[in-house]
Copies of this chain bind each other. A is one copy, B any other.
Amino acid sequence: MINIESKIEVLKQKCAEANMRLTPQRIEVLKMIASTDTHPDAEAVYEAVKEVMPFISLDTVYRTLASLEDLGLIFKVDNELPKSRYDADLSPHCHFICVKCGAVYDIHMDNHIEPPKESFKYGEVLQTNLQVKGICHKCRG
């Protein structure tokens, strides 16, 4: 589980560094993503944050997600579905993705994966990630 308070603290620092403001919208969006392991999409973040902040708009959610991603606090889960889904857990882990319903489950790992040597032929490596695709228990029925 992610420590939300420390996550907000990092947001505070990074906003200051980047000349960005610490708005309640940014705090709530980050809190929401960090407090769930469902890897929500923009719509899901919007619905959840609206509960506590009824006047937030969907486009602010989109903009906030982009800002938080720029700051390195969250990242998009790679999937081949049309909707982007977000993750605030920066520890080494990968994802089980259900190809039927799109559900994303965390698979914890001790270390980040070493990139194959051939990778360096193509450029500077920033990160590697392993993805496991399958059919989740719920969809298997």
**What is the count of identical protomers in the complex?**
2
Which residue from chain B places its CB closest to the CB of A129 in the assembled complex? Answer: B131
For the complex, what is the distance from the CA of A131 to the CA of B131, rounded to whole Å?
Answer: 8
Residue from B121, B126, B129 in contact with A130 in the complex, judged by beta carbons closer than 8 Å: B129
How many chain A residues touch B (CB < 8 A): the figure is 37
* Shortest CB distance A108–B (Å): 7
30 of the cross-chain contacts (CB-CB < 8 Å) are: A76-B80, A78-B78, A78-B79, A94-B116, A96-B119, A96-B122, A96-B123, A98-B123, A105-B121, A107-B118, A107-B119, A107-B122, A115-B132, A116-B132, A119-B132, A119-B134, A122-B136, A122-B137, A123-B139, A123-B140, A124-B135, A125-B134, A126-B133, A127-B132, A128-B130, A128-B132, A128-B133, A129-B131, A130-B131, A131-B131
Interface residues of A (CB under 8 A from B): 76, 78-80, 84, 94, 96, 98-99, 105, 107-109, 113, 115-116, 118-119, 121-137, 139-140
